[in-house]
A and B are shown apart, each in its own frame.
Chain A
């Protein structure tokens, strides 16, 4: 099994050995589901890569970034996919010395930028949380987050009668790290919640939100859906923001909101009466929901998908949300060290590219998950 995996990997890598002039950004993803699981089990991967210590050496020989396998564990209707992406201009290996956990296929590249990501999205039959209207679980290496979406009937904000409301709450479970015990996770939870709100929900007026808030309105000024987005960090190994944003996007795409019929009250001041249908569901258009790409600056480099070890060494990080058109929807800079404005611009353009890749992968995976759900 392991050998097969490796060959598979190497084959993939060699496939991608195309010349990459300038700043090529190519997604290499094995599109066809194969039976061999790659990213499903940390330990398995660990052993598969361990002979080639350091881990990165598997693909170190190239200045390319590689993609890994994708498999459908047919028995469970669980969909796994992994992808890798990176940008690089050729050049030295930046991270060979970094002893990152093996779960991330980490291919280091280029003199200044190194981008690697691997994500695992699991979509189960009824979502991960059947009681919710939509849910998703996303694993990014050892980072594991669950997002659930619940829709409740509410009243629109008086100042924005034509818009529904969306609230994002993130919780860090102590299972992810002992430091989250008790109230220990609160600070991070709040920071993540606000960063996500900024990246996904647009300005205070709701303009520029990834979710079309006006689609949540049932009767203008009277009834709307309140979407509650609850995130839970089950396991944390860095890059939580990207993982949560991706999970929110996937969860929104499998969110079904019951269809409602409204009986307008006789007098205009009264609350209309709402009948909720049992069978029909409205789906969201999630194509406009942005993804978040966080670039973490470690030393001279900035990297995507930093592990917690890497994050511990970062000087600053910039989280950029990118929508399907490649537009920047929101931005958060963390960390104390200042950045040269030109670097920021550079980072943004990298994030844009990475974001587009990530987006298209997520989209195709969502489509595949939906297709297989319908097959069942």
Chain B
């Protein structure tokens, strides 16, 4: 299958190789949570909700010099094309939960909140490739909404390599093509990579290009997320009548 049309240079859905899907972020979608956000990358749609910082529920897990960060990733029954009732906490979910937790923990200033707990819950409403990245982006927005101190915002984006072309932000069809899939998370302002995952194999020089592309994608998302946060802050300001 030709994933990039050799004549027009477009991908199957009309994007250029370096185009991202349409992204949308919205803050405050779960009213009861301390912070929440919805993040969409094309047809991929996830909700993140933050509870905390609050008292540690299970005292044995309490850490005395920093906050305990926990994460749970779950997929709705209807999130994929074929309806599948999946058990909670399967291996894939556990792995993604762990990835998200570690990535977010890296930017939360946990030492400011000792003996407390922060819960990050991400719920996938629709999956169309790049759920990992979308979850991290949603979690970033939600953490900001919850007012949890962070050293920087983390954004994530994936890139792949198909039809001899590096492609940004793979959707499900491209993802299932079997090519390599590089997921990168960066600390936007510090310009540091905090998350890097890849399956399949790639020669080093191509990997470099693909990773660079993914980083560019992360930066673009960071820009967008900053915009969303700024807009949100303005709204709050306005409501307070400042």
Contacts and interface: CB of A to CB of B under 8 A. Distances in A.
**In the complex, is A directly touching B at CB under 8 Å?**
yes
A47 B31 CA distance: 15
B126 interface: yes
B29 interface: yes
B3 interface: no
Contact of A175 (B48, B83, B88, B239): B48
A181 B121 contact: yes
Interface stretch (A13-21, A141-149, A214-222, A346-354): A141-149
B137 to A, nearest CB: 15
A37 B72 CA distance: 34
B51 A176 contact: no
Interface string B114-127: 00000101110110
A275 interface: no
Contacts of B77: 148, 169, 171, 228, 230, 232
Contacts of B240: 47
Interface residues of A, number: 39
A119 B37 CA distance: 21
A236 interface: yes
B85 A169 contact: yes
B74 A234 contact: no
A234 B31 contact: no
Interface in A241-291: none
Contacts of B49: 174-176, 235
B30 interface: yes
Nearest to A148: B78
A173 B43 CA distance: 20
Interface in A142-187: 142, 144, 146, 148, 150, 152, 169, 171, 173-178, 181-183
A132 B78 contact: yes
A141 B48 CA distance: 19
Contacts of B83: 150, 152, 228, 230
A308 B31 CA distance: 13
Contact of A237 (B29, B31, B121): B31
A174 B85 CA distance: 17
Nearest to B47: A175
Given A43-B28, A175-B49, A150 B78 contact: yes
Nearest to B36: A175
Interface of A: 41-44, 47, 101, 103, 128-132, 135, 141-142, 144, 146, 148, 150, 152, 169, 171, 173-178, 181-183, 228, 230, 232, 234-237, 308
19 contacts: A43-B28, A47-B240, A103-B31, A129-B78, A131-B80, A148-B78, A169-B85, A171-B77, A175-B30, A177-B32, A178-B57, A178-B119, A181-B72, A230-B76, A230-B78, A230-B83, A232-B123, A235-B29, A235-B36
